[in-house]
Amino acid sequence: KKKTAIITGASSGLGLHTAKVLVKTGDWNVICAVRDKAKMEAMAQALEFPKGSYSIREVDLRSLTSVRKFCAGLTSPLGGAPGFDCVLGNAAVYYPMLKDPQKFRLGFHMAGAGALPVNRMGSEALVTEDGFEESVGVIHLSHFLMFNLLMDAVERHGRATKTKPRMIIVGSITHNPTELAGKIPPQANLGDCSGLFNGFKVEDGITMIDGGRFDGPKAYKDAKACNMLTIFEMHRRFSKAKNITFNTMYPGCIAETPLFRNHYPAFQKLFPAFQKYITGGYVSVEEAGERLASVCADPEYEKSGCYWSFKGGVRGANGAASEQNRNEKGIGGKFENRVSEEVADLELARLVWEGSALAVGLD
Ligand code: NDP
C-alpha cells in the first residue's frame, strides 16, 4: 500500500520538486496542499506526475479558517486523507522590500524561474484574514495550528500501521546569526514574544513577534526560527508518547525559486551566482527536492528532533554537489546541524508555543 505525504506549498519551488521525487518513486501518494489548485494541476502535468499519484486540496495559509477547514477535511471519516505518513510544512512567503505591511500597494511581484506569473500589483495590504502580518501568519502561525490539528490523526495512523510517521517543517539557515546568511542584518530575534502575547494584530500596531518595528527580512527570519522552535518543542512534548518523528531541515540555498520574486530584479539576477561561486551555498531545486524527499521518506532520517543539513560541495559546475560528497542516491552528505542560541532556548520555546497558541486560538 502506498504511503501518504501532505505537502504545503507543493505548487512551486522546493515543495513541488519534493512532491515530484516522492510521486515518482511509486511508493507515495502526495496530497498537495495549495492555495491555487489550477496552478498545482498545471505544475503536476508539466513535471509529469504519474496519474493517481497525487491529489490537490485547497488551503490558504493567510486564513486560519481555511487551515481549520483543510484539517477537518483531511481528518474526516468521509473523504479524509488515506493516510498520514508524512506531513510537510513547506509553504512560505518572503517580503524583503516591504516597509509596512499596511502600506504595501505596488510591489516587485516578479515571477521567479519556473513560476507562473504572480501579479499582486494593487493587492490589498499584506495582512492575513485574521489580521496578522503575512510572513509570520503564513510561515509560522498557520503551520503551528495545522500541525497541532493534524497530530492526533498522524498518531492514530502510526498506531494502525505500526509505523512511525513524520512531521517536518522546513527551516532555514537564516534563523542563525552565527551563520553567514543569518549574520547579515537584520538578525532573527524573538525577544520576549510580546507581539504574540498581545494578539499579533496589525490593526493594533503589532507587526513583529518581539513587538518591535516592522522589518520584512526580519519577519521572515523570525518566522523560520519559530518553525524550528515549534518542531523541537513538538519533539520534546510528543515524540515519545505519540511515536512521531519531528524534524526540520535546511535544503541549501535554492537561489532561483519564486521565494525571491519580491526582491529587486538585480538581486534576482546576481543572487544565484553569488551563492554558487562565492558562498558555495547554492543548490539546484531538483537536488533540494531530493534532499527533502529523503528527509520525508528514508529510514536514515527516522530519528526525531533533528535539524538536517547537507554538505554541499556545491562550487562545482552548475551548482551540483561535488562527487565526493554524494551518497548512492546522489545527495550531498547529510549532517545534524547546530541551531542558534534562540532556537535552543527552552524558555523561549515555551513562550513561542504559548504565545502562538493564544494568537491562533488553540486551547
Ligand atoms: P516558493 O516561493 O517557490 O514556494 C513557496 C510556496 O508556498 C509556494 O508554493 C506558494 O504558493 C506557497 N504559499 C505561499 N503563500 C501561501 C498561502 N497563503 N497559502 C498556501 N500556500 C502558500 O519558495 P521555496 O520553494 O524557495 O520555499 C520553500 C520552503 O523552503 C520555504 O519554507 C522556505 O522558507 C524554505 N527555504 C528556501 C530557501 C531558498 O533558498 N529558496 C532556503 C531555505 C529554506 P504559490 O505556488 O501559489 O505561490
Atom of ligand 1 nearest to the CA of 63: 18
Quote the pLDDT of residue 203.
84
Amino acid present at 127: V
Whole-angstrom distance, CA of residue 132 vs CA of residue 263: 22
Q: What pTM, to 2 d.p., does this model score?
A: 0.92
**How many Å lie between the centroid of ligand 1 and the Cα of residue 139?**
9
For the chain, list the strands marked E by DSSP: 3-8, 28-34, 54-58, 86-89, 166-170, 245-249, 306-310, 334-336
CATH number at residue 183: 3.40.50.720
Quote the pLDDT of residue 112.
36
The total of structural domains in the chain comes to 1
Quote the pLDDT of residue 270.
87
Residue closest by Cα to atom 35 of ligand 1: 170
Query: What contacts 89, CB < 8 A, 6 or more positions away?
Result: 8, 143, 146, 147, 167, 168, 169, 170, 227
Place of cell 498520514: 84
Atom of ligand 1 nearest to the CA of 254: 40
Place of cell 519531528: 246
Query: Cα dist. 353→71, 142, 242, 279, 357 in Å?
Result: 20, 13, 18, 34, 6
Query: Cα dist. 219→2, 4, 128 in Å?
Result: 38, 32, 14
Atom of ligand 1 nearest to the CA of 134: 18
| Cα radius of gyration (the chain) | 19
Q: With a 6 A CB cut-off, is 92 part of the ligand 1 pocket?
A: yes
Quote the pLDDT of residue 329.
62
What DSSP designation does 208 have? S
166 three-state secondary structure: strand
Could you tell which of 43, 259, 287, 307 is best to mutate to test the pocket of ligand 1, judged by most ligand atoms within 8 Å of the CB?
259
Stretches in the chain below the pLDDT threshold 50: 104-124, 313-324
**How many Å lie between the centroid of ligand 1 and the Cα of residue 162?**
32
Q: With a 6 A CB cut-off, is 251 part of the ligand 1 pocket?
A: yes
Predicted interface score ipTM higher than 0.85? yes
Q: With a 6 A CB cut-off, is 285 part of the ligand 1 pocket?
A: no
Quote the pLDDT of residue 102.
64
In this structure, are residues 132 and 198 in contact, taking their beta carbons and an 8 Å threshold? no
**How many Å lie between the centroid of ligand 1 and the Cα of residue 30?**
17
Residue closest by Cα to atom 9 of ligand 1: 9
Cα first-last separation, the chain = 36
Q: With a 6 A CB cut-off, is 289 part of the ligand 1 pocket?
A: no
Quote the pLDDT of residue 325.
52
Q: What is the residue range of 123's domain?
A: 3-360
Q: With a 6 A CB cut-off, is 217 part of the ligand 1 pocket?
A: no
Whole-angstrom distance, CA of residue 272 vs CA of residue 264: 13
Residue closest by Cα to atom 42 of ligand 1: 253
Quote the pLDDT of residue 363.
81
Q: With a 6 A CB cut-off, is 170 part of the ligand 1 pocket?
A: yes
Residue closest by Cα to atom 23 of ligand 1: 259
Q: With a 6 A CB cut-off, is 62 part of the ligand 1 pocket?
A: yes
What sign results for the dihedral spanned by CA atoms 293, 17, 90, 98? positive
Q: With a 6 A CB cut-off, is 225 part of the ligand 1 pocket?
A: no
